[in-house]
Structure 1
Amino acid sequence: MSAESPGARERISHWRQSFRLWRWQRPFWAGLLTLLGGVPIIWIPYADPSLSQLSFRLATTTGSGSLIIGVLLFVLGLTLWFQPHSRVFSGVAAILLALVSLVVSNLGGLFVGFLLAMIGGAMAVSWVQSKERPADPAETGEVPGGPAPEEAPQEVGLAIVEPAPAGADDGQNGAHRDA
């Protein structure tokens, strides 16, 4: 191993910083919740759970509807990750699919998929990209995992307002002048 090649620790640190920056620029958690909301909606109608020798089926005649809703939620979650500019459409579509899953897919995957998709869709609609990007430790001179540099305190100026003498009216009723 040469002295110029980065070690595993530097590669992992670089990957984590790159992923953090990528995640910061899109509604990551909204996409993850929407994507995860599709899993129980797909799985529950096709599952064959059993307790000891007692087997019960949750499948309905609309198993294909559950499959379609689950796959669409999965695709909307990926869309939120890779096309963040379409977040409003994807969020509204996820909310509508979650509502439809209540009727079509065994109460929206026994309410688990419904809640995940609803929360993910709401987060997607309300997400706004920050104007400033997160500080890169290389630019600020921070050591990763080290203490944050202290910021200089900012002074806040206060204006002292004194009441105007009685009878000193500048044309506005009850207006006071700043000193």
Structure 2
Amino acid sequence: MSAETPGESAGTFARLRLRFRDWRGTRPFWAGLFTVLGGIPIAYFPYATLKLGHMSLAMATTAGAGSLIIGVLLVTLGLTMWFQSATRVFAGVAAILLALVSLVVSNIGGFLIGFLLALVGGALALSWVPGKPSSGATGDHHGSDAPAGQAAPGGIPEDPAAGPYFPAAPYEKGEDGETDGVRAAARDGGHRVG
């Protein structure tokens, strides 16, 4: 065993961890995880036999097949969220609907454990939005990425709360040579900018 072996294994572990972190950041990872974890108790409890001392408690119901189908579908939807993140909206809505159906079909949604996990997973899938690629190490800001109050490439200040910015036309001069702000404001939709 050489002195470099722990360093190499730590480097491999760090590299794998960073690759997993990058993979996790490009998809609704937590939504898929909660949905998969929600499907397991929904599918498991109707077929489980719990032993309490010498007493066996069987929770088999007539809807055991329905519970199994709901659980398998939730696991499949969770994996879909991981590997086909473009279908996250469909998978999120389907996970929420299946979680609601599991309340009636599967022992109160896997004793509320599976129901709550699947519901949170579906909500996370609906709320997840892919991130925008970073502008790189240059630090340049363009368009809507410019901080509030700073100018975008066209010289127009970018303020998210202000809405669209239309440059103001100079005041028009009337027949008598004076500026007529009322006529210009009427042309601009009632608001005088500038």
Q: 1:177 to 1:30 in 2, by over 3 A?
A: closer
In the alignment, residue 78 of structure 1 is paired with which amino acid?
L
In the alignment, residue 81 of structure 2 is paired with which amino acid?
L
SS in 1 for 2:118: helix
* Structure 1 position 177, deviation (Å): 9.3
Work out the number of aligned pairs and report it.
149
SS in 2 for 1:59: coil
Aligned counterparts of 1:21 and 1:85: Cα–Cα separation in 2? 17
* Structure 1 position 117, deviation (Å): 0.3
The residue number in structure 2 matching 1:41 is 42
Deviation digits for residues 97-141 of structure 1 (CA, Å, limit 9, x no counterpart): 1111111100000000000000000110111011035x8xxx89x
Aligned counterparts of 1:53 and 1:15: Cα–Cα separation in 2? 47
The residue number in structure 1 matching 2:26 is 25
Aligned counterparts of 2:131 and 2:35: Cα–Cα separation in 1? 21
* Structure 2, unpaired ranges of 5+: 139-146, 151-179, 186-190
Tell whether 2:49 aligns with 1:55.
Answer: no
The residue number in structure 2 matching 1:83 is 84
Tell whether 2:72 aligns with 1:64.
Answer: no
* Structure 1 position 53, deviation (Å): 2.3
% identical equivalent positions: 55
**RCO comparison, higher one (Cα < 8 Å, 6+):** 1
In the alignment, residue 18 of structure 2 is paired with which amino acid?
Q
Rg (Cα) greater in structure: 2
Aligned counterparts of 1:98 and 1:176: Cα–Cα separation in 2? 53
* Structure 1 position 52, deviation (Å): 1.7
* Structure 1, unpaired ranges of 5+: 141-153, 158-168
The residue number in structure 2 matching 1:146 is none
Aligned counterparts of 1:100 and 1:65: Cα–Cα separation in 2? 10
> What is the TM-score normalised by the length of structure 2?
0.67
In the alignment, residue 96 of structure 2 is paired with which amino acid?
I
* Structure 1 position 170, deviation (Å): 4.4
SS in 2 for 1:56: strand
SS in 2 for 1:129: coil
